Structure 1
């Protein structure tokens, strides 16, 4: 295992300081190749902000609750805000390499927003780049050497890092994550087989150890639709088949495709297809 880090004033304690707009507290890198596991657990979080950049491998994060698990792959950064639960693990088998930086200040929230870090998101895709690694290493070196005006230099270097992250986030990135792809494919198959039953998206996401927002975002990335849109499309498509090829009543078709309320089914069908189920059946028969 390789570790290289630097701390402001050689202090490992986290702190909150609003005397300046932006202050770098520490920065470092971990690289695991054979060490079995490196866990971090801070139930009450920290006082400062933290960015973790995954340069290679995977990191197992537990957002909101310790029992949740979200696996984040190389090419992503994770942002922790003050007082947020921090629980994550690196595993040697994943050949993980990460860079991290802690920072505080009176203008941190505005600086983050300006650079594309929205308030509610935790994970941001930026791709992998040696430029990121060079920026982190420069920050580490400044913390270790403490040359003249090094605190001002640290602020400039962190702003530079945030800007190149922002530029990357503005570009389209397709980050291959086979683990997530398999999970999304399994979810799509499950919805296909059970579209005519009540499906609780929150419960399904929880069963995968994912937050609901993370699951919905990745499902849409994989299929082009949110889970609700995907299920609704399945129901409407199958309703069309039944309207065209059977004599079932509208009430019966509604129940068959998963709606207990025929009026609600008709309203959704009209919104999706531009006409009522009855009108659709008439037109299809005329055709």
Structure 2
């Protein structure tokens, strides 16, 4: 027999030894990942996504990533993210959301700092991560006595394991154009629900429309108008999934007074009408 002892000075990563609260865990196959999940964020919720199979393209915060099997994606609270599966592969993922996460030295509901990569390569830890997520799903699905408590401990183990993965410092650019793109993005994020146009952005920031379009697309890959549409459609997706507001109400809430125009844009961006999208995700939740 070999006996192993814990270190006497062992300390939890969690501040004050307080565990995070698991809100949901999902096992998502290609049926659902084939639909893009456009720009959105979660207030007071941090998400972990693990890619089981396939690959995709993800925008998280100000960074763009090509993602693949074995990658761990970190969505800190309130960080905008955009998810698109590679159509040439069948992407499947595990996803879990939590709140009350407080790690030492980081803001609440943040798993990594803002100056490191939001995508971690699991490498040799891939199997352990996948096992933990699979166990979480199984216990919650079976809904037996103690499932929530067991899943909470599994979540803590998952976080501790992820914290062992080397984190890459992204070295955020502070060039004049990058800073301007950040200003434009921040303005759109604050006002996208309003009657916002390229001219209103230009007037508010006192910059020419041409320079705004050129700089923003160079830094983000989207024109300002494309970004506005994706922010609106992404918020609409969240409202369709998580609320009982009518499609007409949701259109107005994200900045569209014309329901027909909203439906056309939504269908073109997501691949189905808002009504069908809601039915699609409602069916998944059952």
TM bracket, shorter-chain basis: 0.3 to 0.5
TM-score by length of 1: 0.45
Structure possessing the higher radius of gyration over alpha carbons: 1
> TM-score scaled to structure 2, two decimals?
0.45
